[in-house]
Amino acid sequence: MTSASARVLCVDVGSTFTKAVLVDTTTGAVLGTASHPTTVSTDVMDGVDAVRADLAGSGEPTEVLACSSAGGGLRLAVVGYEREVTAEAGQRVGLSAGAKVVHVASGAMTGDDVKALRAASPDLVLLVGGTDGGNARVLLHNAERLAKARLSAPVVVAGNTDAADEVAALLTSTGRRFVVADNVLPRIGVVAPESARAAIREAFLTHVIGGKGLSRGRGFAELVQAPTPDAVLRGVEVLAGVVGGDVLVVDVGGATTDVYSVITPQGEDASIQREVVGTLWHARTVEADLGMRWSAEGVVEACARERRALDGATAEYAARVAADTAHLASSPQEWLAEEEIASAAAVLAVRRHGRPGHPSEHPRPLAEVTVLVGSGGVLRHAPGGVGDRVLEQVLSDHGGGWRVPVAARAGVDTAYLLFAVGLLADHHPEAAAVLAAEVLPATVATGRHPG
């Protein structure tokens, strides 16, 4: 019998469902899983209580770790200097930190720019600008604008470190809540996300999660460790360490398709800084127009632009589920349409993830990907190998403009474990590694190994 002290309950409070995994941290074994509709309309802790009750037979946990994307997740605005340099670096770092980037401003902010920022209703503002030791004029101007703006969102400062004290003084003068981190772009061609990512997480936990009105003071804010996408990316990092190679994860959701990659640069990529912004080797991208329900018609439109047109029946089905997002496929014809939409969303999202953000940059080197993992409800719950066929489409797609990963193993995270791996990574690293390996058996069984 496993001792109570070894049980950790990992919970993801999602926008639609609250999922839980009970883990024995002495062995890394999964003791049970549960799911319940997220109770946003009452108190999200009701859903947490429900999954906890479902797992009561497996033993009472003494520790609960949670991540959350309920209430819209973390809405981030980026304020930078040049759109193609520091603002772009800030946006990449924000995505890697699990945020939904809802607004990007570049250059010296005007009154209209401040109004546009307020209209975006961010939970958090990431203020960046300049390389270390460079010109700080725009960074200081924008700091002063933010200090005086009628804006309740806290600020994470991650620009020119030489100006950090002046920026802090400006924000302090008006009582603005802020956190100072290292520069996301310390020098041209180098993106340094770690400090800003940690500061965004700190601000999210301290200022944001408790302010969304998701729970009436029942300890929810104390449970949450990170935004869900941040926890998933941390889980992908652990998985890459376990497999000893590059990992790509595609999460096909109802509203967005997220792609995560953890890559170790090889050869020229490892030694030469060719890009103005630089490559973020542990990265996440979010495609807000590619999804299975709310964004289903966006998939149809994106396919037309990419010369991957869907047939008329699939396009009609996409329009129907976009209008009725609660619809569940119930016939072979509908499941065929679901598969077509999911395949298109996954392929196009990976293409965008891999393509360079600027003409001067190079594609993300995906050819050495060792493991491709699929996630999202349509891949986890679809019948008849739909998930495997969707991932096969990703691995055989030559339309992205780079060499495809010819030796990757592919499989679906059917138990939805990656978020739990990420939550455990810093608290129970050995258990996290064992749990990450649980994602792999399906990839071995269903993977392709072309010669």
As given in the structure block, the two tokens for residue 60 are 């009472």
Mean pLDDT on 98-116: 94
d(Cα 264, Cα 274) in Å, to the nearest integer? 16
Are the C-beta atoms of residues 65 and 9 closer than 8 Å to each other?
Answer: yes
d(Cα 326, Cα 245) in Å, to the nearest integer? 38
- Note the pLDDT of residue 281: 84
Asked whether the predicted pLDDT for residue 331 surpasses 80, the reply is: yes
Distance of CA 412 to the CA centre of its chain: 17
Are the C-beta atoms of residues 134 and 58 closer than 8 Å to each other?
Answer: no
- Note the pLDDT of residue 129: 93
Q: How confident is the model at residue 1 (pLDDT cuts 50, 70, 90)?
A: very low
Q: How confident is the model at residue 209 (pLDDT cuts 50, 70, 90)?
A: confident
- Note the pLDDT of residue 445: 39
Q: How confident is the model at residue 40 (pLDDT cuts 50, 70, 90)?
A: confident
Are the C-beta atoms of residues 130 and 139 closer than 8 Å to each other?
Answer: yes
Asked whether the predicted pLDDT for residue 401 surpasses 80, the reply is: no
What is the DSSP code string of 37-48?
A: E--TTT-HHHHH
Q: How confident is the model at residue 219 (pLDDT cuts 50, 70, 90)?
A: confident
d(Cα 413, Cα 401) in Å, to the nearest integer? 27
Average pLDDT of every residue of the chain: 89
Tens of pLDDT along 224-268?
999 999 999 999 999 999 999 999 999 999 989 999 999 987 655
Mean pLDDT on 357-379: 86
- Note the pLDDT of residue 449: 36
- Note the pLDDT of residue 89: 84
Asked whether the predicted pLDDT for residue 274 surpasses 60, the reply is: no
Q: Which of 128, 283, 260, 107 is nearest to 196 (CA)?
A: 128
The beta-strand segments (E) located in 61-151 are 63-68, 74-80, 99-106, 124-127
Number of helices (H), then strands (E), in the chain: 17, 15
Q: Which of 336, 349, 340 is nearest to 249 (CA)?
A: 349
- Note the pLDDT of residue 441: 53
How far CA 415 is from CA of 77, 336, 421, 441, in Å, comes to 33, 23, 12, 12
d(Cα 67, Cα 73) in Å, to the nearest integer? 10
More confident residue, 262 or 3: 262
